[in-house]
Structure 1
C-alpha cells in the first residue's frame, strides 16, 4: 500500500511541475520604465501596456499602438501574456480579450487614439461621455491605421 501511495504522490508532483506557467502583470515604475518601441518614459500609466515573455522578461509600452508594433515585428510565439490598462478602471486586462475603441480625437501618449476596456458595455459607456468611437477586437488591431499614424 505504501508503494502505491508513493507512486501516486510522485505522479502528482510530476504533473504539477509540468503544468503551464502563469503570468502576472508587473507594476510600472515611471522613474525607470521606458517604452520598448519609442523609448518614451511611461509617465501616463493609465495607457501603459506590457508583455510577459515566456523567458520571464517583460517588455513595457506607453501606448497600445507601440505594443502592437512590437507584436507585428516579433510575433506572438514568445509571448506568455500581454496586458493593457482598462481605460475606465485603470486595471490590467488581457490584451487578447480586451475590447478597444478608436477615435482620432481620443488623447493617448503616442496619439494612436485607441483605448481598451474589459467589456463591450464598458466601452459603450465610455463613448457616451468621451465621444463616439469605433469598436475593435484584438484581431482588428493588426492592420488598423490609427490617428496621425495613417
Structure 2
C-alpha cells in the first residue's frame, strides 16, 4: 500500500502543476512578459495561458496584443484581460468590449481598456469619448 502513495502523490502534483487556467497576478511584484515593467495597474493588466499551462502576464492589454504578433496563437488556451469596472478581475478577452479613449490612460500609452459588460463600456464611452472595438477588431488594429 505505501508503495502506491508516492506514485499517486507524484501524479496528483503533476496534474495540478500542468493545469490550464488563469493564475492570479502578483501586482507590484511580477514583471510584464513583453516590456518587463512591474505590473501594478489592476484595470489594464492582461494574461495569456498556453495549452500546456504556462502563464504570461502583461502590464497592459497593448503589451499582450503586441506580444501576439510574434506568438503562435495555436499554442494558446486562454486570452485574459482585466475588467476595467472590476479591477483585478481577469475575464475572457475574446468576449470583451474594448475602449480606446484618450481620457483614460493605460500603462503603455495606447489608452486601451476592456469591459466584460458592453453597457458599462458604452457608459464610459459616453462620459469620456473614444471608440469601441470587439476582440476581432482590436486584434486587427494591433496587427498594423
Tell me if TM exceeds 0.5: yes
Instruction: Give the total of aligned pairs.
Output: 125
1:55 aligns with 2:46: no
The Cα offsets for residues 8-67 of structure 1, whole Å up to 9 and x where unpaired, read as xxxxxxxxxxxxx97432111134311111110001122110011111110000111110
Q: Secondary structure at the match of 1:55?
A: coil
Contact 1:72 1:142 in 2 (8 A): no
**Equivalent residues in 2 for 1:1-150 (5 A)?**
23-90=20-87, 91-129=89-127, 131-144=128-141
For structure 1, list consecutive stretches of 5 or more residues without a partner in the other structure: 1-20
State the match for 2:6 in structure 1: none
Structure 1 vs Structure 2 CA RMSD: 2.0
For structure 2, list consecutive stretches of 5 or more residues without a partner in the other structure: 1-17
Q: Would you identify which runs of 4 or more consecutive aligned residues in structure 1 move more than 2 Å?
A: 21-24
The two structures have a TM-score, normalised by structure 1, of 0.75
Contact 1:101 1:133 in 2 (8 A): yes
Contact 1:28 1:45 in 2 (8 A): no
Report which of the two has the higher share of strand: 2
Q: Secondary structure at the match of 1:30?
A: coil
The two structures have a TM-score, normalised by structure 2, of 0.78
| Structure whose CA Rg is larger | 1
